[in-house]
A and B are shown apart, each in its own frame.
Chain A
């Protein structure tokens, strides 16, 4: 059953309910204090939007507004604390852009309180969002900066029925809300694959040469240069970049190494397929080299034929064609591609290091091929650090449950606030696993959620997952071994664990049997098959001991 989406605003936002995407949005009242009295039982998300564009200000009103703002902030604070499982989306504010006596406002001290009011509210709101995982901000201020009051607001509909915004304005708000909700639930793609000619620069490097391509500080060349800046910004928040281009590698290397306006460097691309193969084959190779599924790929090319080819063979890749109006390249990339495919709220430490980590992933793969798997693993000197119920890594833990598809036994998706709840619960432990080896530190790559079982005298493994970067090194067995020892000490205890098959996690179908568990039950629940395994601690430890001895993996507790 879907939960209600509630809008709380001083202006009429009911039209949102008649636009697609937000279900049956309801607005119970124009009174912001309804935040306090609302029945939150079936509410999934609340959108709090205090409009100030339509207000008419004079000085007494400013003083009053200060109190109103404090009240709104206090109401939001109260609601988010009392209803931690509800998501609150709160707009930041813009005070009216239409001053009654404009020159006085800009030239005298009369204008100061306005500026202070706006920045007071917005900075308090930001603090709320930084402190509370169930609060996110809709950047209404940037919408106003971008589109302006004339395009966003409508006097006519405001005076007729308190609808402050035009259809376009409401549509911008709606699409912001959808993008924020996607970001909150971690629906962010992982890899941006790019073509080169007429995508990263204007013209064709093989024909026009390094000096002939359009990439510069003016005209069309600047449009491409700005696009490259945007791509680099995505890399900085943890999106992996790859090249998929029909070209001679020599020409391309020369362009990247010597063109003065080139923002991106060859090293920014974790995998480079610059050859004359068809692009679908290249795409598949990129996917297997990174160990990432094609459904986390976004592909930008200027050539419709190439895009159609990729789309028809691998429909899970999101494909975009470079727009004809190249002057809007940057805006298009931000408004269409990033908003839809790469929505993100917070950047974790792992995100910042992501490219470097995948680089060592590719290096390790090369070593593995040269020395054979077993020797390879023991030569890596793997060290795992176990974090138990650590609040500092909640963001990353939630992110892993949202994004991990392959080595994930139950594929249960949890939000930050869910994980928070588990940590608070004395019967549940949330384990984060950090990985380090010869080639570097991978950060937190594994999550295990273990609870006291209600059915047996032992423990229930709710979630067991590993980032695909470390699959195939025996890390999972070392983690299992460590955890079982943690929970039992010298006494034999039972463990119950489930495997829920999906299209992507076939790789773990034999995981529990290989750890000494045996199948007890195969059930069908809510559209999923669930296989339930039982294992007693002594059998599990016996089964794992031999593997671990060979793998040379060290497991320590975080101090």
Chain B
């Protein structure tokens, strides 16, 4: 199974593109309030971009539950080989 840091490296450019921010702002400890465009629309756009780029899917409940980078990485770890 992949480490969180490895997954973070993979998703960093995708998230930076969605949030129109510097990739260095995407960190392990990031939560929505640290990033301007991680609002409710940004949250959806992030998952849509991840699903499209990584060929993974999340359920509505998972997306609603996710409230931090750590939580996101945790969900991704179970899906990425």
- Chain A interface residues (CB < 8 Å from chain B): 14-15, 18, 154, 156-157, 159-161, 163, 166-168
**Given the complex of chains A and B, what is the CA–CA distance between A555 and B20 in angstroms?**
60
**Given the complex of chains A and B, what is the CA–CA distance between A72 and B34 in angstroms?**
42
Residues of B near A163 (CB, < 8 A) are 44
**Given the complex of chains A and B, what is the CA–CA distance between A161 and B44 in angstroms?**
8
Whether A156 contacts B52 in the complex (CB less than 8 A), given A15-B44, A161-B41, comes out as no
Q: Which residue of B lies closest to A161 (CB)?
A: B44
B41 pairs with A14, CB closer than 8 A: yes
**Given the complex of chains A and B, what is the CA–CA distance between A202 and B60 in angstroms?**
49
Is B48 part of the binding interface, using a Cβ–Cβ cutoff of 8 Å? yes
Q: How far is the CB of A67 from chain B (nearest CB, A)?
A: 32
Having A167-B49, A168-B52, one finds 10 other A-B pairs with CB under 8 Å, namely: A14-B41, A15-B41, A15-B44, A18-B42, A18-B45, A156-B59, A156-B63, A160-B63, A160-B64, A167-B48
Q: Which residue of A lies closest to B17 (CB)?
A: A18
Is B24 part of the binding interface, using a Cβ–Cβ cutoff of 8 Å? no
Per DSSP, chain A at the interface is helix
Whether A167 contacts B52 in the complex (CB less than 8 A), given A156-B63, A160-B60, A160-B64, comes out as yes
Across the A-B interface, give the 5 residue pairs with the lowest CB-CB distance, nearest first: A167-B48, A156-B60, A167-B52, A14-B41, A161-B44
Is B40 part of the binding interface, using a Cβ–Cβ cutoff of 8 Å? yes
Within 8 A of A (CB), among B26-81: 37, 40-42, 44-45, 48-49, 52, 58-60, 63-64
Residues of B near A166 (CB, < 8 A) are 48, 52
Residue from A14, A15, A167 whose CB has the most chain B CB atoms within 10 Å: A167
Q: Which residue of B lies closest to A14 (CB)?
A: B41
5 cross-chain CB contacts under 8 A: A15-B44, A154-B48, A156-B60, A157-B44, A160-B60
Total A-B pairs, Cβ < 8 A: 34
Residues of B near A18 (CB, < 8 A) are 18, 20, 37, 41-42, 45
Residues of A near B18 (CB, < 8 A) are 18
**Given the complex of chains A and B, what is the CA–CA distance between A159 and B44 in angstroms?**
12
**Given the complex of chains A and B, what is the CA–CA distance between A161 and B63 in angstroms?**
12
**Given the complex of chains A and B, what is the CA–CA distance between A163 and B63 in angstroms?**
14
Q: Which residue of A lies closest to B51 (CB)?
A: A167
Q: Which residue of B lies closest to A159 (CB)?
A: B60
Q: Which residue of A lies closest to B18 (CB)?
A: A18
Q: How far is the CB of A134 from chain B (nearest CB, A)?
A: 30
Q: How far is the CB of A88 from chain B (nearest CB, A)?
A: 25
Per DSSP, chain B at the interface is helix
**Given the complex of chains A and B, what is the CA–CA distance between A156 and B20 in angstroms?**
24
Give how many B residues have a beta carbon under 8 Å from the other chain's beta carbons. Answer: 16
**Given the complex of chains A and B, what is the CA–CA distance between A211 and B78 in angstroms?**
58
**Given the complex of chains A and B, what is the CA–CA distance between A159 and B61 in angstroms?**
11
Residues of B near A160 (CB, < 8 A) are 44, 60, 63-64
**Given the complex of chains A and B, what is the CA–CA distance between A163 and B64 in angstroms?**
15
Q: Which residue of A lies closest to B40 (CB)?
A: A161
Residues of B near A154 (CB, < 8 A) are 48
B41 pairs with A157, CB closer than 8 A: no
**Given the complex of chains A and B, what is the CA–CA distance between A15 and B41 in angstroms?**
7
**Given the complex of chains A and B, what is the CA–CA distance between A396 and B64 in angstroms?**
54
Residues of B near A161 (CB, < 8 A) are 40-41, 44
**Given the complex of chains A and B, what is the CA–CA distance between A502 and B42 in angstroms?**
43
**Given the complex of chains A and B, what is the CA–CA distance between A157 and B64 in angstroms?**
11
Residues of A near B45 (CB, < 8 A) are 15, 18, 167
Residues of A near B44 (CB, < 8 A) are 15, 157, 160-161, 163
Q: Which residue of A lies closest to B49 (CB)?
A: A167
Residue from B44, B58, B63 whose CB has the most chain A CB atoms within 10 Å: B44
Residues of B near A167 (CB, < 8 A) are 45, 48-49, 52
**Given the complex of chains A and B, what is the CA–CA distance between A15 and B52 in angstroms?**
15
Q: Which residue of B lies closest to A167 (CB)?
A: B48
**Given the complex of chains A and B, what is the CA–CA distance between A15 and B42 in angstroms?**
9
**Given the complex of chains A and B, what is the CA–CA distance between A159 and B63 in angstroms?**
12
**Given the complex of chains A and B, what is the CA–CA distance between A535 and B42 in angstroms?**
61
**Given the complex of chains A and B, what is the CA–CA distance between A160 and B46 in angstroms?**
14
Q: How far is the CB of A158 from chain B (nearest CB, A)?
A: 10
**Given the complex of chains A and B, what is the CA–CA distance between A157 and B52 in angstroms?**
14
Q: Which residue of B lies closest to A157 (CB)?
A: B44
Q: How far is the CB of B29 from chain A (nearest CB, A)?
A: 25
Residues of B near A156 (CB, < 8 A) are 58-60, 63
Q: How far is the CB of A122 from chain B (nearest CB, A)?
A: 29
Q: How far is the CB of B24 from chain A (nearest CB, A)?
A: 21
**Given the complex of chains A and B, what is the CA–CA distance between A15 and B18 in angstroms?**
11
**Given the complex of chains A and B, what is the CA–CA distance between A431 and B44 in angstroms?**
54
**Given the complex of chains A and B, what is the CA–CA distance between A349 and B42 in angstroms?**
48
Q: How far is the CB of A167 from chain B (nearest CB, A)?
A: 5
**Given the complex of chains A and B, what is the CA–CA distance between A166 and B37 in angstroms?**
19
Q: Which residue of A lies closest to B60 (CB)?
A: A156
Q: How far is the CB of B52 from chain A (nearest CB, A)?
A: 5
Residue from B37, B48, B49, B59 whose CB has the most chain A CB atoms within 10 Å: B48
**Given the complex of chains A and B, what is the CA–CA distance between A276 and B20 in angstroms?**
50
Residues of B near A159 (CB, < 8 A) are 60
Q: Which residue of A lies closest to B48 (CB)?
A: A167
Q: Which residue of B lies closest to A166 (CB)?
A: B48
**Given the complex of chains A and B, what is the CA–CA distance between A156 and B58 in angstroms?**
9
**Given the complex of chains A and B, what is the CA–CA distance between A163 and B42 in angstroms?**
12
Q: How far is the CB of A495 from chain B (nearest CB, A)?
A: 53
**Given the complex of chains A and B, what is the CA–CA distance between A113 and B41 in angstroms?**
36
Q: How far is the CB of A26 from chain B (nearest CB, A)?
A: 12
**Given the complex of chains A and B, what is the CA–CA distance between A18 and B48 in angstroms?**
13
Residues of A near B49 (CB, < 8 A) are 167
**Given the complex of chains A and B, what is the CA–CA distance between A159 and B59 in angstroms?**
11
Residues of A near B63 (CB, < 8 A) are 156, 160
**Given the complex of chains A and B, what is the CA–CA distance between A524 and B53 in angstroms?**
50
**Given the complex of chains A and B, what is the CA–CA distance between A93 and B20 in angstroms?**
33
